[in-house]
Amino acid sequence: MGIKVKKPVTIRVDSIGAIYMAKDSNTSQRSKHVDVRYKYVTEFINEVFCEIIFVKTEDNHSDGFTKNLGRELHEKHTKNFMKSKEEI
């Protein structure tokens, strides 16, 4: 497609459990169903195609799209998306 991607791709996550599961290839009875579908994430991390970092909800602007937030956090994250090209 001709799209250049800067590697590693950074994935910002606010779930420590999700980060642990993505970085650890071992499975347990409780996570076996997840392993079948999402094993490729661990492969991407091991191949240094992507990296996962922890980001608190207060700093994760995508939470405005994925969670019910209080007024302050909603306004903070919304302002980030409404910046003009000059501010970026």
| Residues 24-51 pLDDT 10s | 666 566 656 565 556 777 778 888 888 8
Q: Is residue 41 located within the same domain as residue 75?
A: no
> Tokens 């993505």 map to which residue?
22
Assigned domain for 36 exists: yes
Phi, psi of 4, deg, nearest 5: -90, 135
Mean pLDDT of 65-82: 83
Mean pLDDT of 3-24: 83
Which position has the higher pLDDT, 44 or 54?
Answer: 54
Q: Determine, yes or no, domain membership for 1.
A: no
Look at residues 63, 58, 59, 53 and name the one whose alpha carbon lies nearest to residue 19: 53
Quickly state the pLDDT bin for 54 (edges 50, 70, 90).
very high
Q: Are residues 30 and 62 in the same domain?
A: no
Domain that holds residue 37: 10-55
SS3 54: strand
